[in-house]
Structure 1
Amino acid sequence: MELIAKYHVETDLPIQKAAEAIAAEQSTGTWTEVRGQDNPLAARVVSAQKSEVEIGFPEELFRPGNVPQYLSVVAGNLKKVRLLDVIFPQSIIRAHKGLRFGIEDARKILGVYDRPLVCTIVKPKEGLDPAGTAAMAEAAVRGGLDLVKDDETLTD
């Protein structure tokens, strides 16, 4: 089974080439040519017509229950590409029991009821170690932000 992501693509490339680039970039692509056997974790082009592309991602790429990872794989790092839809395999759907906390719970925990919650992203891949990431998150909260998330495809 695989996760299917549907995209609208704006490109000057032939749509098949653009689709292949998306599949590589969002799964196992690299700047260096890699020789050898096909990678079983590589995404594949399901269809590419006009400006619509469907990419199939092997379910083994995803850690069940890790929503931020799903989104960073199917929606991250793409320019002039709009994610239209995602079709999840049953194995991933079954991993979700529902939300533990809803917006009301977040507001209660944070004590914020009368305004939007404000969030930022800390990017450890910019050279921060765990202690540096924690210090940056602490500074953001002390500066008045409500929530901080990291921006990595962390799965453990």
Structure 2
Amino acid sequence: MVHYINLNYKPDENDLIAMYYVEKAPDCDDLKQACEEIAKESSIGTWTEIATLSSDIADKLKPSAFYIDPETNIVKIAYTRELFEADNMSQILSAIAGNIFGMKALKNLRLLDVSFPNDMIKAYKGPKYGIEGIRKITGIKGRPLLGTIVKPKVGLNEIEHARVCGEAWKGGLDIVKDDENLTSMKFN
């Protein structure tokens, strides 16, 4: 069995550190158990034991919950850099701010802060155009941009998606944003 709590762990500059506010559910024994569940679900584990989770994998990839404060309900978890694609913010957020928010062990969970390793910060290029670039492309200055997100968020083919975008622009919107779940899916 893999254990994710290590209060003696000292994070280094290669760790991604997530700080959470945690309230345990009534069925959960204590804050430590809740923290264990968060670290497990957000990395290499899940709600049940995994027969194929070897000690080699665990030693290489498991995070360490190194700070648990029962007075404030603040916990900190250090994730090894190898768990993440440095320039894939969607993948990073799905790990540290995804399924864990629906766990039965938790009554309330809030991601308060994330500290990224320097190589991840350097690898992430940020928005392609930025605010000024979008304003230059749209020709809109001196007022907020008005936009929408195409729904359904996934499932439309390119013709349907383009039709919805065109209707939004004809209706007076400035920009149309892809939903964050719309990635390079084969069916879209």
TM-score, normalization by structure 2: 0.63
Deviates most, 83-92 or 38-47: 38-47
The equivalences for 1:124-135 within 5 A come to 134=158
Select the residue among 45, 51, 54 that pairs with 1:37. 54
**Distance (whole Å) between structure 1 residues aligned to residue 133 and residue 66 of structure 2:** 40
Offset from partner CA, 1:126-145 (integer Å, 9 cap, x none): xx5xxx56567446524527
Task: Give the equivalent residue in structure 2 for 1:119.
Answer: 149
**Distance (whole Å) between structure 2 residues aligned to residue 120 and residue 10 of structure 1:** 35
Q: Where do 5+ consecutive residues of structure 2 fail to align?
A: 1-13, 103-107, 169-174
Whether 2:33 is the aligned partner of 1:9: answer no
Deviation for aligned residue 1:9: 1.0
Q: 1:105 to 1:87 in 2, by over 3 A?
A: same
Deviation for aligned residue 1:48: 1.7
**Distance (whole Å) between structure 2 residues aligned to residue 7 and residue 94 of structure 1:** 24
Offset from partner CA, 1:13-59 (integer Å, 9 cap, x none): 31111111111121122344113523232333122222111111111
TM-score, normalization by structure 1: 0.73
**Distance (whole Å) between structure 2 residues aligned to residue 5 and residue 72 of structure 1:** 13
**Amino acid corresponding to residue 165 of structure 2 in structure 1:** V
Q: What is the root-mean-square deviation in Å for CA atoms of aligned residues? A: 3.0
Deviation for aligned residue 1:94: 2.5
Deviates most, 139-148 or 48-57: 139-148
Select the residue among 35, 52, 64 that pairs with 2:86. 64
Q: Where do 5+ consecutive residues of structure 1 fail to align?
A: none
**Distance (whole Å) between structure 1 residues aligned to residue 23 and residue 157 of structure 2:** 35
Larger radius of gyration: 2
Task: Give the equivalent residue in structure 2 for 1:149.
Answer: 179
Select the residue among 112, 125, 142 that pairs with 1:84. 112
**Amino acid corresponding to residue 151 of structure 1 in structure 2:** N
**Distance (whole Å) between structure 1 residues aligned to residue 91 and residue 119 of structure 2:** 16
SS at match of 1:10: strand
**Amino acid corresponding to residue 7 of structure 1 in structure 2:** Y
**Distance (whole Å) between structure 2 residues aligned to residue 49 and residue 56 of structure 1:** 15
Q: How many residues align?
A: 148
Whether 2:74 is the aligned partner of 1:52: answer yes
Task: Give the equivalent residue in structure 1 for 2:7.
Answer: none
Task: Give the equivalent residue in structure 1 for 2:6.
Answer: none
